[in-house]
Amino acid sequence: MSRNVILIAAIVVIAGYFYMKSSDKQQEIISSQTTQREVTTEGDSKPAETEDEILVENLIKEGIVARIEEDGNTPKVYVTADFYRIPSVDKKNILIVMYKDFQSKNPEVTSFTVYDDKSGDEVGTYDSNGFTEK
């Protein structure tokens, strides 16, 4: 698959996620999530993954995020060149989802740092106020 197709697929997944989070779809989501949890917990002993966790895993699988280090209360996210090609609106949504995922795993997380995977340079920091570029 070409990189463009992968990027478009990732953007569609993220856009779909935020569309489904809209208030008029809330009841439908709750019913769907309940059914998914029931099916997952009946057939599997490990806990069900949240939508945020699945989206973060997909970002890694698609090569947009190279790796995540969750040491302590300030996780480190290493992004690839594909991350820079994504429109800024989608980058913002990706960072919001990652922040929510980190906080759900560790409520003491107040920010995370984004690094360029190739150079190792710090790109910026994301916290409750948004993304601050370095």
Q: CB burial class (10 A; 0-12, 13-18, 19+) of residue 46?
A: exposed
Residues 92-106: pLDDT tens digits?
A: 999 999 999 999 999
Q: Please give the backbone phi and psi of residue 44, each rounded to the nearest 5 degrees, phi first.
A: -145, 140
The answer to whether 82 and 64 have CB atoms below 8 angstroms apart is yes
Domain that holds residue 122: 3-133
pTM given for the model:
0.66
Quote the pLDDT of residue 26: 44
- Band the pLDDT of 108: cuts 50, 70, 90: very high
- Looking at the structure of the chain, the number of domains it has is 1
Q: Indicate if the pLDDT at residue 133 is higher than 90.
A: yes
pLDDT above 70 as % of the chain: 64
CA neighbours within 13 Å on the CB side: how many for 120? 0
Mean pLDDT across 52-76: 92
